[in-house]
Structures are given as structure tokens and as C-alpha cells.
Amino acid sequence: MYSIARKATSPRACRIGRRAVLKAGLVWTASTIGAPFPIRAREDAPVKIGMVEPLTGVFAQLAEAEVAGARLAIEEINHSGGILGREAQLVVADSANDIETGVEQTRRLIDNGQVEFIAGNVNSAVALAMTRVTAEKRKLHIVTGGHTDEITGSQCNWNVFRVCKSTTMEANAIAEVLIEKFGARWYFLTPDYVYGHALQAAFELKLRQNGGGWAAAILPVGTEDYSDALTNAAAFRPNVLIDLMGGEDQVNSLKQITNFKLTDEMAVGGALFELESILSVPDAARVGWWTMEWWWNQPEVPGVKAFDAAVRSRTGKAASARSWFGYAGIRTIAQIANQEKSLDAVQLARALQGYTLPADIALDRNRASFKADDHELMSTILVGEVHPQGADPFDVFTPRVWVEGEKAAGPYASGCRLAFPS
């Protein structure tokens, strides 16, 4: 289920069923907030941004966080005069963690909902399928949460930009830290879909370069019983148990890892262990070394504290990387449209090539910009330790290493060949 506030000045949640979401989508505006640069007459058609996310299924918490960040962005955009002087609206649809549904919803938003832009999706396979639709329909598409390399690699498109990291960047950021601290013999718990396979392949490359070895359990999305995989992991005796599961699957697997007391025998870690998932496990399962693509407690970075406070006031939770993905994606759309004074996707895509995000959008200690050759956002990855809650209940991660996006991307050839329409 998903709830949405109807008014920015007085949020009021109402329960929305999946059927209603699939039929009509959810519309968010912030027109009740006074704008210092007034939005033009209300009879002007709003500029609609479609967001397709898995609001039901194992990634629902992550999707809801991305939508929460996007809603905050809509508030700020309209408070500053909207997009080209027109009110901005966010129209949200549920992809239900299903490729066919994600494609259908994307087409519906463009054809029937008349959206000018598309954002999403948490699920890499769904996000990749959506990019084919948006390229065909010539709509600028910001991928907020799908990590598989192909999105900005071999299956890149001229209209697609990504704010989260590629799987290669995730693996490069943490692999050598794990090898140096614990050793190069690993056992993988890998979800059986495009993200999991891509991420394991990226880690395998780093292990080969360091003379390492590995074994893996490939598990379907929605796995509930990890006992066979964990028994095999214990028999393999790795230095590190690499958990690549996502969302609820990661939560369930980590609970069982601690129940099996494997943390007494091996280190635990991997790529993403996101705030939403950390908060869903008991203290005993808040362990290991992981990457974080953005973190709320960075007092040295201007704007982070205010953003975190804004998210907390609306959701009751600290800002997460997912809420920043949604926020940065939607703010970037408005920023470039207003800069170029256009809604034309080709013009805006060309303007975003090599574009550096303003500091109040990037919320990063380093420069954050889209690569011109593949449209991947180069921003900082934080590597650190997950731990039980501190005085702040959301204090569950301590960064130890800050890896700049360009270093994490490395010299590899993405395979992207961008071809703009004439």
C-alpha cells in the first residue's frame, strides 16, 4: 500500500490500493505553497512528470522513499515558480515489480497522461525496459534507482540519464576495501535478475584481478528460506559473505545470516545496504561493510542538514539515498528545463551532457556531473560500517572511505554508443 499527502501545507495520508494506482496513477502538486516567482495563471496546463516505481512488492520501501524525495522536489520547484512558469505535477504509477506492467504504465503516462518527462525505476530490469519506451516516445528519462550497467552502458539511450550508480561503480568502490581488510575468498548471495548478475560479475572481475576465489548461491526474488544457501556458505568458509539481495530479500537474508551465527565465522558485506533495509533488521543484523550512495549525516556538506530535516518533517524518517535519488532526479528535470527555456527532450538531453548539478541538488562534498559519453552521474560513494542504532535512531552507518564517482567508474569502456534523433 502507498499513502500520499494531498496538501503540502497540511499533509494528510490516505490509503491507496494497487488497483487504483494502476488505473489512474497518483498526482502530486504543491500549488498551495506561495511562490516568490509566481506561477502563471492556473488555466495554463501543468507540466507533468511521470514516475513509475514498484510501490508493491519486495522493493516497496525503496520506491516509497524515492517518491517522497520527488514530492519534496515538486514542492520546491513550485515554490520557486514552477517549470517555465507553469505548475509542476508528479504523476506516480505502480510498476508492481514487473517488467510488462512497468512498460505498460510508462506508455500510459506518456500517451494518456500527457507527461513531459519520466523518472524511475528501482528495479533494474524494469528501468531498462522503460528506457526503450521513453526513447521511442522521445521523452527525457531520469533513472532514479536501477543500477545495472546496461542502462548507461551497452543499452544506453540518448534520452536517458541516471542519478544512482552503476553496478561496476558499486563494486569498484568497495571491493578492494573488503579484500584488503578480510581477504579474497568470497561467497555470494545473488538475486536471480539482471541487477544481481551484473553486480556479481563486477565483483568477480575485482576478485580475478586480486587472485581471489568465489562460489555463489543464485536465489529467486522473494526467497524466504536461505538455509541451504547459508549451509553451503558455511562449508565454503569464505573470508566474506557478500549479500547482494535487495529490499525485503536483503532483510530476510541478513536476519537468517545472524540466526546461523555466520557473522562469528566470516565478515559480511557487499554493495548496497540501504537505510530502509538497515532499519528493518534487528541490531544483531546491523553489521558489515557496505556502500552508501548518499548519507544524511554529512555535516561538512552544505544543504544536507536542511534536506534531511525537510524529509524527516514529511515522512518521520531520515533522508536516505533513495529519497535523494527522487529529489535530485526531479529537481534536475526542472533545473535544465528552466535553464534551456524548453521542454524539448533532445535539446534538454544535449544540455545535460557533462552538466554539473548545482550544489543544492547534488548535496555532495565533491562535484557531481553527468558524463557526456554515457549519461551516468559521477557523484561520491561512501564506504563504511553498518552498526546498531546510536543516539539518533537513524544513526546506523559510519562512513570510512569517500570514493569519487570518476574513481569508482574507473577506465572501463561502458559500451555506450549514443545516437541522437535528427
**Vertex 331 angle, CA 327 and 336, to 5°:** 155
Tell me, yes or no, whether 277 and 341 share the same domain: no
Residue 182 has a pLDDT of 98
> pLDDT tens-digit profile of 8-43?
333 333 333 444 444 445 676 554 334 455 676 556
pLDDT of residue 19: 41
Q: For residue 417, tell me if it sits in a domain.
A: no
Percentage of residues in the chain with pLDDT exceeding 90? 87
For residue 61, how many other CB atoms are within 10 A of its CB?
21
What is the residue range of 205's domain?
Answer: 168-292+381-409
pLDDT of residue 12: 33
Segments in the chain below pLDDT 70: 1-26, 28-38, 40-43
**Residue 414 belongs to some domain of the structure:** no
pLDDT of residue 36: 52
Contact, 224 vs 252, CB < 8 A? yes
Residue 172, classed as helix, strand or coil, is helix
Residues 157 and 275 both lie in one domain: no
> Are 87 and 203 members of one domain?
no
Q: Cell 507533468 maps to which residue?
A: 48
Single pTM value for the model: 0.90
User: 189 and 239 share a domain?
Assistant: yes
d(CA 363, CA 174): 21
| Same structural domain, 26 and 124 | yes
| CB-based contacts of 346-355 (< 8 A; 24+ apart in sequence) | 346/138, 346/158, 346/159, 346/420, 346/421, 348/140, 349/140, 349/158, 349/159, 349/161, 349/375, 349/420, 350/420, 352/140, 352/161
Question: Which pLDDT belongs to residue 16?
Answer: 37
Domain count, the chain: 2
Same domain, 350 and 275: no
Each residue of 355-369: pLDDT tens digit? Answer: 999 999 999 999 999
CA–CA gap between residue 63 and residue 268 (Å, rounded): 25
Q: How far is 182 from 267, CA to CA, in rounded Å? A: 7
pLDDT computed for residue 412 by the predictor = 74
Tell me whether residue 418 is in a domain: no
* Residues 284 and 321 both lie in one domain: no
Q: Is residue 65 part of a domain?
A: yes
The answer on 385 and 372 residing in a single domain is no
Give the Cβ contact number of residue 390 at 10 Å.
12
Is 392 within the bounds of a domain?
A: yes
| Residues in CB range of 72: below 8 A, 6 or more apart | 310, 311, 314, 323, 327
183 and 132 belong to one structural domain: no
Task: Residue 274: give its domain's CATH number.
Answer: 3.40.50.2300
